[in-house]
Structure 1
Amino acid sequence: MAAIHTSAPGKLFLLGEYAVLEGAPALLTAVDRRVRVKISTTDADRWLLDAPGLGVDQLALERDGALPDSLDRPTREKLRLYDAVRLTVAEAVGDEGASVKPGHRRLHRALSISIDSSALSMKGHKLGLGGSAAVAVALTAGLAQVRGLRFDSATLFAAALTAHRRAQGVLGSGGDVAAAVTGGLISYLPGARSAQAVSLASLAWPSDLTMMVVVTGKGSSTPELVGRVADYARRDASGYRTDLARLAVLSEQARPALASANNFLTLASQYFDALVTLDTHAEAGIISDRHRQLHALAARHGGVFKSSGAGGGDVGLAFARSGAPARDLAAALTRANARIVPIGFCAAGVATANIDTDVDTGTDSVRMVEDSL
């Protein structure tokens, strides 16, 4: 079997955080930091898994790829997502309604799987770019191809989202999974099983608007932050509805606001203020003192800083008019010891390549390159 290489991008939430959990649209972009998965056959009698980012080095799995019973609990916890993807794809193969290429249902040789998510961290610092979602998408796409499953983008999204939620619970919106599948700039509306995701690639990002990614602290746990907001909803349903309704009204304006840098800057600032209100009531830790400092700094320089995604210690976003205003804000952020991370936006979605390895020469021959799903 040719080695199968898949990759999927990380993501950034621009607007719509938390409101998307209650059905409002969210604006996301795929970024040029990618998770990369390689799957090949091995002469070993068991599957092998290599995931350096998780401290896993050539772990021997069961004959069907399941986690061994003897595995210690910490490592088992780290590999919940891997196992959830494995199970989800295996179930899809067993579904008589699934579209499967002839002769691909049964695996006759063990697999060697490598998962590299290092691009979504910086010097060991988790950047909050949706790494788990990108892993879910890239690994689902790879294992599906191994098993001969014909997944279009909607089916891939549904399978990856199922695996992601199986591993981490049903707290997230699925927007990060959608961005990893489709790439680009998307407006995402959560659905029961499929994303009502509309590509905004045809709507140009305002040429007079610059976005910068800023490290704001140590990485945060999205499930923990979202869980605290859910706790707030249970103890004060009325207050929660009011706060989320405020966010939802602003979220609805995200797509049209892209037509104007001024409108987008105003909306981004209003959204940050609404998140501050939610966080004050929820006591979740979405907005940190560092966020407030950077928001005030950006305002003094005519720009806007806001948290991105779940918030906490992950990266934030700084927006400014392009040209001199953006350069001025970047310099001010640097003077404030805020590190700007070079990240590209509107990146391509999940992609696959089959590579035949020449055993005699060790060279690679690419048969199918970047076949986007």
Structure 2
Amino acid sequence: MRPGCTPHCRPWAACSRCARARSAPTPTGWTDVTAITSSAPGKLFLLGEYAVLHGAPALLVAVDRRVTVTVVPAGSWRLHAQSIGIQHLDLDDEGQLPAALNAQTRSTLRLFDTVRAAVRAQAGGGPFEISIDSAELSRDGHKLGLGSSAAVASALTAALARASRLYLDRAALFTLAQSAHRAAQNGTGSGGDVAASVYGGLLSYAVGATPVPLQWPNDLTMLAVVTGEGSVTTDLVGRVNDFGAEHPLQHAQDVARLTRLAHTAQSALADRAEFLRLIDDYFTALARLDSHAEAGIVTARHRELRVVAQRAGGVFKTSGAGGGDVGLAFSASGLAAERLAAALTDAGASVVPLVLGAEGTRS
């Protein structure tokens, strides 16, 4: 870190001194580190879902629940990931998954393997003993829909790179983590969730562009609400893609409607009433897409919570791919937010305590 910078410079890409420091050659006299620990935040998609896959900007915010990865130089490769039931898994001499591993466990660890391969392709390194803790992004054994895979990709890439003496600025970290994350998801996904985990804060994100940092409005409150037992993003996106292949005209019309709304998100943040209307309009447009695609984006529980929020003076929408992941309820701050929270609780909804605008990946 250079004089004048702080550990919280954000985004790194905007701080040339931090970027140069992290991409500089290894200093003379640098000694082996016994352990490297990196962490990355979860995220929430506020607006732009599905449209972002077609070039529209999306609005995302990092949250204060984090994935933590620790990498320690060791005599052989070993993986611990107790949050997903992996304990003391011995890897081969290159850090690859053992050949005898069953198909289900291999699938669960596909992201780990793609990140490991991506970092080793650039820096070599190892052998390492690796621990991955993603428990904060789950509840009662179910993912909350806070982007745990993107946070794992970001934190694991950062930790392995640093342990291998590969120094990355934010942009390079995003590129490497997103490449591995996308490969693990068979080429699906926009990269917005990885961008939120790497850069942190509140972001406007579009594929192929540098994320734009934004400020959260002081008069706006958002609550994250449990709506089910989690969903698989690739399944939901796959169904929408199948719909697009079968009914390209209707799909194009539905996506165009979402895209027009997504392009107004950044300017709408300046006016709370306008932003709340936009959130409601976007949920309506998502529901319309879902009614045509029959993908399961919008559930009966989502519709119930929308009515609850409206009666309390707020608005509600799905987050990310939708399905059983968390939903989002918005209102004015202060007493209005307290009324909304009480109404959701009375309706049997569980509000997830979150701090918005969390710091991005750190080591």
**Gaps spanning 5+ residues in structure 2: where?**
1-32
How many Å separate the matches in 2 of 1:67 and 1:319?
Answer: 44
How many Å separate the matches in 2 of 1:79 and 1:180?
Answer: 19
Residue of structure 1 equivalent to 2:70: 38
Deviations 1:275-326 (A, max 9, x none): 0000000100000000001111111121001000000000000001111211
Please show how residues 1-373 of structure 1 align to structure 2 within 5 Å. Answer: 1-42=33-74, 44=75, 46-93=76-123, 105-107=124-126, 110-191=127-208, 195-200=209-214, 203=215, 205-352=216-363
Residue identity over aligned pairs, in percent, reads 56
TM-score, scaled relative to structure 1:
0.87
Secondary structure of the residue aligned to 1:5 is strand
Displacement of 1:170 in angstroms is 1.5
Letter matched to residue 141 of structure 1 = A
Secondary structure of the residue aligned to 1:351 is coil
How many Å separate the matches in 2 of 1:106 and 1:152?
Answer: 19
Displacement of 1:150 in angstroms is 2.0
Displacement of 1:125 in angstroms is 2.1
Deviations 1:251-289 (A, max 9, x none): 011111111111111000000000000000010000000
How many Å separate the matches in 1 of 2:311 and 2:84?
Answer: 41
Aligned partners of 2:61 and 2:201 also within 8 Å: yes
Secondary structure of the residue aligned to 2:112 is helix
How many Å separate the matches in 1 of 2:348 and 2:93?
Answer: 50
Displacement of 1:147 in angstroms is 1.4
**Gaps spanning 5+ residues in structure 1: where?**
94-104, 353-373
Residue of structure 1 equivalent to 2:14: none
Displacement of 1:181 in angstroms is 0.5
How many Å separate the matches in 1 of 2:125 and 2:109?
Answer: 24
Displacement of 1:216 in angstroms is 0.4
How many Å separate the matches in 2 of 1:270 and 1:72?
Answer: 45
How many Å separate the matches in 2 of 1:308 and 1:106?
Answer: 38
Shift of the 106–172 alpha-carbon distance from structure 1 to 2, 3 Å rule, reads closer
Displacement of 1:196 in angstroms is 2.4
Letter matched to residue 170 of structure 2 = S
Secondary structure of the residue aligned to 1:312 is coil
CA RMSD of aligned residues (A): 1.0
Secondary structure of the residue aligned to 1:67 is coil
Letter matched to residue 92 of structure 1 = Q
Letter matched to residue 197 of structure 1 = P
How many Å separate the matches in 2 of 1:7 and 1:177?
Answer: 13
Deviations 1:40-91 (A, max 9, x none): 022x4x2110001221101110112111111111111111001000111111
Deviations 1:310-357 (A, max 9, x none): 0000000000111121111111110100000101100000000xxxxx
How many Å separate the matches in 1 of 2:117 and 2:334?
Answer: 50
Give structure 1 regions of 4+ aligned residues with deviation exceeding 4 angstroms. Answer: none
How many Å separate the matches in 2 of 1:298 and 1:67?
Answer: 47
Shift of the 106–303 alpha-carbon distance from structure 1 to 2, 3 Å rule, reads closer
Shift of the 299–135 alpha-carbon distance from structure 1 to 2, 3 Å rule, reads same
Aligned partners of 2:125 and 2:163 also within 8 Å: no
Displacement of 1:208 in angstroms is 1.6
Displacement of 1:106 in angstroms is 4.9
How many Å separate the matches in 1 of 2:210 and 2:51?
Answer: 15
Paired residue total: 331
Letter matched to residue 91 of structure 2 = L
Secondary structure of the residue aligned to 1:196 is coil
Deviations 1:196-248 (A, max 9, x none): 21111xx3x22221100000011000000000000011001110110001001
Secondary structure of the residue aligned to 1:7 is strand
Aligned partners of 2:201 and 2:213 also within 8 Å: yes
How many Å separate the matches in 2 of 1:261 and 1:29?
Answer: 17
Letter matched to residue 190 of structure 2 = S
How many Å separate the matches in 2 of 1:34 and 1:167?
Answer: 20
